[in-house]
Amino acid sequence: MMFAKKVQDYKSRIFDVNEIKSFDGNQAKKNIFYETGQTVGAVWCLKPGQELYFHSHKRADDIWICMEGDSGTYYPECGESVEISKGMVCVARPGEKHGMKNTGTTDFVFIGIAGPVPLDLILHELE
């Protein structure tokens, strides 16, 4: 079967989120699935009530593609919040603060693509 062989040839380029995602009962979990000299990709998994720290990157874009979740709160800036859910995309450009909390009743999963690498991490107070 030619198609099956082709998929096998591209194993390092085609990923199944369901095989990558895993959760930590205590905190948001980052599951890195690829890294190049330009970007890094991770599947972030948050149980209800868990938060991803409020932060920024001096040089990097950070794009979040929401795959699962009925409700989350995205923090685009200190004192500001936007409700997000499955199907939404959040973009933080260099220097723009971002973080989120799973405010829903179901698990929240998003793919994060960031670059250029290496990433710096600047933590901020939310309020």
We report the CATH number of the domain holding residue 51 as 2.60.120.10
Residue 54 within any structural domain of the chain: yes
pLDDT for res 7: 57
Dist. CA 42–CA 35, nearest whole Å: 9
pLDDT band of 46, cuts 50, 70, 90: very high
Instruction: Kindly report the pTM of this predicted structure.
Output: 0.91
pLDDT band of 80, cuts 50, 70, 90: very high
How many CB atoms neighbour CB 92 within 10 A? 21
Residue 72 within any structural domain of the chain: yes
Could you report the per-residue pLDDT of 61-71, keeping only the tens digit for each? 999 999 999 99
Q: Domain range for residue 104? A: 31-120
Residue 16 within any structural domain of the chain: no
Number of domains into which the chain is organized = 1
pLDDT for res 11: 83
Residue 84 within any structural domain of the chain: yes
Residue 59 within any structural domain of the chain: yes
Residue 87 within any structural domain of the chain: yes
pLDDT for res 2: 56
Residue 21 within any structural domain of the chain: no
* 114 half-sphere exposure, CB direction, 13 A CA radius: 27
pLDDT for res 55: 98
Q: What distances in angstroms separate CA 70 from CA 23, 60, 95, one per listed residue?
A: 17, 28, 28
Residue 68 within any structural domain of the chain: yes
Could you report the per-residue pLDDT of 18-41, keeping only the tens digit for each? 999 999 999 999 999 999 999 999
